[in-house]
Structures are given as C-alpha cells and as structure tokens.
Amino acid sequence: MNFMQSLRAAWRERDTLLCVGLDPDTARLPPSLAGSPRAIFEFCRDIVDATADLVCAFKPQIAYFTACRAEDQLEALIGHIHARHPGVPVILDAKRGDIGSTANRYAEEAFARYQADAVTVNPYMGRDSVEPYLAWEGKGVILLCRTSNPGGSDFQNLDLADGEKLYARVARLASGAWNANGNCALVVGATFPDELAHVRALVGDMPLLVPGIGAQGGDIAASVSAGQTGDGFGLMLNSSRAILYASEGEGGDFAAAARRAALDTRAAINACRAS
Amino acid sequence: MNFMQSLRAAWRERDTLLCVGLDPDTARLPPSLAGSPRAIFEFCRDIVDATADLVCAFKPQIAYFTACRAEDQLEALIGHIHARHPGVPVILDAKRGDIGSTANRYAEEAFARYQADAVTVNPYMGRDSVEPYLAWEGKGVILLCRTSNPGGSDFQNLDLADGEKLYARVARLASGAWNANGNCALVVGATFPDELAHVRALVGDMPLLVPGIGAQGGDIAASVSAGQTGDGFGLMLNSSRAILYASEGEGGDFAAAARRAALDTRAAINACRAS
C-alpha cells in the first residue's frame, strides 16, 4: 500500500481529515477489559472498528505498547487494521532519529516488522539520519517540524542567523532536497496556527500531521483555516485521548462513546473546511 | 545504582574512558553462533564478558534488538551485565523524544522494563519532552548535542540569530536549567573536535558520550585533548563495530578478538590523557 495514495483516497472517500491516535494507557482502560491478557489490543481494536469509517489514518504510539512488553499486541493491532479496514493507512508514531546504520534498523522495525504505512521521524540528526526511511518509496516519512507541546518552542522556534526559524528550515528541506521520492510529510502542532500557516505556505500541498486538537487544546477552526490546502484537504488532524477515553466519567460502552466523539470531531472539522 | 556515581567510579577503578557499543547486526554475527535462537544475546554476552574490565559503560542500541523481535534478549543482556559486572553502567541508546505523557512511557521502558542506568534522548521537542527522564533522579539522561554523522551539521551547527550555534544552546540548557538533579550528560561526536572543545568549555565537568571513534573514523587524540576534564576523565568514548566485529576477515574467537581491540583502543585513549 502506498501511503500518500491511500491517504489522499481516504480523505476523499471518507470525507474526513480526522486521524485517531492509539495511545492505550493501561491505567485508563475501561473496567470491562480488566484482567484480559490482551486488553491493550482489544481496547484499540474496538476503538478502530468503531471509528474506521470516520478517519483518514490511525496513529498508534509505540511507547504505550513497548513500555509494557506489548509488542505482539501492536503487531496484531496493525494486522487487524490492514485486514479489516483496507485503505486506512497506519502511521507508527515512533519519532525515531539515529545515524544511518541504526536508522536502517528502525525503518525495518516500522515498515517490515510492524507493517506501518508511515512513521514519524525526528530531524535533529539531519539528512543521512532520515534517508533510510525515505528510501522505502511507498512509505510515508513524517518529520517533526513544529510540535504542539510547550517545549516545542525551546529550539524549533529559534531564529536562525539568516532570519529563518529552525522549524521553517526543516520544512524547507523536507519539501525540497529530501523529498525526491515524494514521500515526506510534516508534524505541525494545532497549538500554533500562525506557524501552521507559515509551513503550509512553504510546502505546497504536502500532507501535515497536526496533533494537539482535543486534550491538548488546539483550536480546530484555526488549524483547518491555517493548514488546509485549496481543495480542503492536506491535513491529518490527530485526536487521541479525547476519543479513546470519551466514556470516562460517564461509563457505558467505550467504543460507542469513542464513535460519538469521533463523529463530533469530524463534523467540527468539516464545518470549517473549504467546500 | 546511581548512573553518575557508577560512571565516575568505573572511570577511576578501571582506568578507562572506553564505552563499548552493543549494536548486534544479525548479518555479521560469527559463524559459530549460526542457528542459535538466542544468537544476539549470546554474541553480546560474550563481548561483554570479554571486555567488562576495560570499559566505563556498555551501550546497547535498542533498534538492533527491536527490528528483529529480540526484546527478550535485550532484557537478558542488561540483566546479565548487572548480575555479572556490577558497577558497569548500562546506557540504553534509544534517542527518544516525545511529549510528556509519551515520554513517561519511554522513560518507563528504558529504566523500569530494561533496567538501564541511562538513556539517550533527542532534545528537539524541548524541555517538557526531557523532564520525564530527568525526574528519575539516579538515572542518566544523555541528550543529543552535536552528533558524529554527516547530517549532524544540517541543523545542530546552524548559527542562531544571537550568534550561538544550535548545539551550544542545547549544551547550555542541559548544563543549566535542565540539570537540577545533576543527571544530564551530552552526546558530542568525535568527528568534530573543535565543537567538542566548545561544549566542554560550556558544561564544566559534565560527562560527554563521544561516538565516532573506530568505524566512523573520529580521531582519538583530538577527541581526548578536546573533551577530557582537567583530571583526565569526563568522557565515554564509544566504539561499537570496530570492537564487535574485530574478528571479521581473520576468523577465530570473536570475543578474544574483541578483547584485543578493546585493549588497543583503551591504550590508545590512555596514551592521550592528562596524567
């Protein structure tokens, strides 16, 4: 499956820019799954099945699996998405970054072992640390550019001597010299709409993964307005906790609550899009 | 075990600045291990046992284990080092970097699951992405500053508007505001001795992990001269491939060849140190 083609098809066919992040916090799993040895897989599988027609991608966060020896459940989850929901791309959120020989191994981990369609990568170590991912032609390489967390400003927002911001330099390289295979995308947080607009202006119609809506408080209308392409696409707006844990406090069926939250979020996004 | 105390003790008691990197490439394992289901563990264990009295730390690189589903062998390896070679700190080379809630999981993975004494962390996402590691008081947090690969210059070496280099800004934060628990260290490549000297001048006697000697071609004399502290310590000079695969081409006992390579490298380092 070619990541860019799948993503563009998913946007249009499902009429959605919503990406659901799968960050299964073992301390927050619903009581109905208590005691199951495969609770992480079962939780995520049910969320996936309840929301797959509403999303343009799923984004499992690898640390939530590896911290508790649940690699096999991550493999099973991605296998389930591919088997049951073909055409929905899977982004492995791993934020890897290492020298070429090691990056080869991380690329193998993401694309061969876990069968992800795209992976997030940290650009701090520069071009040769990113090339091993870029070499997998059909796979997406989503580089951190301007992240949604408070510390994202510590370095990414610094002014360089030539007047460019560091995150803009990343955007320029990712959309230029590094993008020979057309498989680059960028992470730009919803919490900084001005910078999202700046990145959009720099990178043409390159897809942008935008975390920070939902629990992190990013503004949907401002993000869509700043980041969409002229045809009303171009974005993967990620929500994790606000969807996964929608049933917290109210009880009831967690998957149904997740579906309602996903429907609401998709509608809120679509209300702001160019028609 | 407190990482900083162990490291300082290991430097002095073993009279060595050598760190052996454990990057077990399955395509390069010695023929004697062919067919063993635990070949990765056995290879690294024999390297560890042959070199433990010559090193100040071991540094397993997690991607070489996770790309081939060998998490259990990494756990066994670190368990073996702690049991058989107490006092030799283990640095998990993982170069993680993510928002706080996810960074908590990565810290758990490194320190609780794998029982590492220190972990490498990518600073691109800023302070709140690093704090979850720093909060583990006895553990070491080794931040990427100026890496040894060619692309290390793409961003790390950029001039900021105030005249500072980006890597120097990282060094200043890591040795200042971020170091309240005294558990920060930095990665600075052997391939850039002038910048190593600059970092040393900025960070006092903070330990520096220096990859790039051996297979990557960094100069030992220049690195020691630029990076050592006044008392001839302060550095973990890492060699991985030149030691692990010392028997390639010549055949024979791979562990004995690794020991000879480690002895030679330690001697070459010690010949350059302040007495």
Q: Are strands A91-96 and A208-210 parallel, antiparallel or unpaired?
A: unpaired
Count contacts between A and B (CB, < 8 Å).
Answer: 175
Question: If pLDDT is split at 50, 70 and 90, which confidence band does B205 have?
Answer: very high
Query: What does the pLDDT look like over B120-146, one tens digit per residue?
Result: 999 999 999 999 999 999 999 999 999
**pLDDT at residue B275 greater than cutoff 70:** no
| Interval A2-28 mean pLDDT | 97
Chain A (246-275) residues lying within 8 Å, Cβ to Cβ, of chain B = none
pLDDT (0 to 100) of residue A218: 74
Q: Given CB atoms, is B219 within the 8 Å cutoff of chain A?
A: no
Rounded Cα gap, residues B211 and B19, in angstroms:
9
Write out the two tokens for B174: 């890591």
Q: Please, what sign has the CA dihedral across residues B5, B191, A108, A114?
A: positive
| Interval B257-266 mean pLDDT | 97
Q: Please, what sign has the CA dihedral across residues B13, B15, B21, B26?
A: negative
Q: Could you say which of B63, B69, B103 has the minimum Cβ distance to residue A105?
A: B63
**pLDDT at residue B191 greater than cutoff 90:** no
CA distances from B223 to A178, B30, B144, B185 (A): 31, 31, 17, 17
Rounded Cα gap, residues B226 and B273, in angstroms:
10
Beta bridge partners of A118: A91, A140
Q: Which residues contact A25 (CB under 8 A, 6 or more apart)?
A: A64, A244, A245, B101
Helix, strand, coil share (%) of chain B residues, nearest 5: 50, 15, 35
**pLDDT at residue A216 greater than cutoff 70:** no
Rounded Cα gap, residues B7 and B17, in angstroms:
10
Q: Could you say which of B61, B69, B169 has the minimum Cβ distance to residue A102?
A: B61
Cβ distance A175 to A184 under 8 Å?
A: yes
Query: What does the pLDDT look like over B33-74, one tens digit per residue?
Result: 988 999 999 999 999 999 999 999 999 999 999 999 999 999
Rounded Cα gap, residues A21 and A261, in angstroms:
13
Q: Could you say which of B99, B149, B158 has the minimum Cβ distance to residue A100?
A: B149
Q: How many C-beta neighbours within 10 Å does residue B248 have?
A: 12
- The model scores a pTM over 0.95: yes
Question: Measuring CA to CA, which residue among A115, A100, A191 is closest to residue A152?
Answer: A191
The chain A residue lying nearest B173, using CA atoms, is A154
Residue from A59, A95, A139, A165 carrying the catalytic annotation: A95
Chain A (135-164) residues lying within 8 Å, Cβ to Cβ, of chain B = 144, 147-156, 158-161, 163
Beta bridge partners of A143: A121, A186
Cβ distance B142 to B187 under 8 Å?
A: yes
Q: Given CB atoms, is B43 within the 8 Å cutoff of chain A?
A: no
The chain B residue lying nearest A113, using CA atoms, is B67
| Interval B179-190 mean pLDDT | 96
| Interval A243-248 mean pLDDT | 94
Number of H helices and E strands in chain A, helices first, is 12, 8
**How far B109 CA sits from the closest chain A CA (Å)?**
4
Rounded Cα gap, residues A81 and A41, in angstroms:
11
Chain B (97-126) residues lying within 8 Å, Cβ to Cβ, of chain A = 97-103, 105-106, 108-109, 112-113, 122-126
Cβ distance A247 to A30 under 8 Å?
A: yes
| Interval A87-111 mean pLDDT | 97
Task: Establish whether this prediction's ipTM goes over 0.90.
Answer: yes
| Interval B190-215 mean pLDDT | 93
pLDDT (0 to 100) of residue B215: 66
pLDDT (0 to 100) of residue A242: 94
Q: How many C-beta neighbours within 10 Å does residue A31 have?
A: 8
pLDDT (0 to 100) of residue A215: 66
| Interval A112-139 mean pLDDT | 97
- Residue A85 exposure: Cα atoms within 13 Å on the Cβ side: 25
Which class for B162: exposed (0-12), middle (13-18), buried (19 or more C-beta within 10 A)?
exposed
Backbone angles phi, psi at A252, to 5 degrees: 85, -165
Q: Could you say which of A124, A159, A163 has the minimum Cβ distance to residue B144?
A: A124
Active site residue B95: yes
Question: If pLDDT is split at 50, 70 and 90, which confidence band does B218 have?
Answer: confident
Q: Look up tokens 């500053």; give the residue.
A: B145
User: Strands, DSSP E only, in chain B?
Assistant: 18-22, 57-60, 91-96, 118-121, 140-146, 184-188, 208-210, 235-239
Helix axes A254-270, A220-227, angle to 10 degrees: 50
Interface test with A, best of B99, B109, B114, B147 (most A CBs within 10 A): B99
pLDDT (0 to 100) of residue B106: 98
Rounded Cα gap, residues B72 and B52, in angstroms:
22
Question: If pLDDT is split at 50, 70 and 90, which confidence band does A214 have?
Answer: confident
Query: What does the pLDDT look like over B83-125, one tens digit per residue?
Result: 999 999 999 999 999 999 999 999 999 999 999 999 999 999 9
Q: What is the DSSP string of A65-118?
A: HHTTT-HHHHHHHHHHHHHHSTT--BEEEEEE---HHHHHHHHIIIIIIS--SE
Q: How many C-beta neighbours within 10 Å does residue A201 have?
A: 11
- Residue A119 exposure: Cα atoms within 13 Å on the Cβ side: 32
Question: If pLDDT is split at 50, 70 and 90, which confidence band does B1 have?
Answer: confident
Cβ distance A63 to B102 under 8 Å?
A: yes
Question: Measuring CA to CA, which residue among B52, B130, B124, B137 is closest to residue B88?
Answer: B52
What length does chain A have?
275
**How far A160 CA sits from the closest chain B CA (Å)?**
4
Rounded Cα gap, residues B74 and B267, in angstroms:
29
Chain A (230-249) residues lying within 8 Å, Cβ to Cβ, of chain B = none
Is the CB of A68 less than 8 angstroms away from the CB of B113? yes
Q: Which residue has the higher pLDDT, B249 or B166?
A: B166
Is the CB of A130 less than 8 angstroms away from the CB of B108? no
Rounded Cα gap, residues B227 and B201, in angstroms:
9
**Average per-residue pLDDT for chain B:** 95
A112 to chain B: which residues are within 8 Å by CB? 67
Q: Which residues contact A114 (CB under 8 A, 6 or more apart)?
A: A74, A75, A78, A92
Query: What does the pLDDT look like over A165-190, one tens digit per residue?
Result: 999 999 999 999 999 999 999 999 99
Q: Given CB atoms, is B76 within the 8 Å cutoff of chain A?
A: no
Cβ distance B184 to B137 under 8 Å?
A: no
**Average per-residue pLDDT for chain A:** 95
A61 to chain B: which residues are within 8 Å by CB? 98, 102
| Interval A256-260 mean pLDDT | 97
Is the CB of B144 less than 8 angstroms away from the CB of A159? no
The chain A residue lying nearest B71, using CA atoms, is A69
Q: Which residue has the higher pLDDT, B180 or A250?
A: B180
Query: What does the pLDDT look like over A17-57, one tens digit per residue?
Result: 999 999 999 999 999 998 899 999 999 999 999 999 999 99
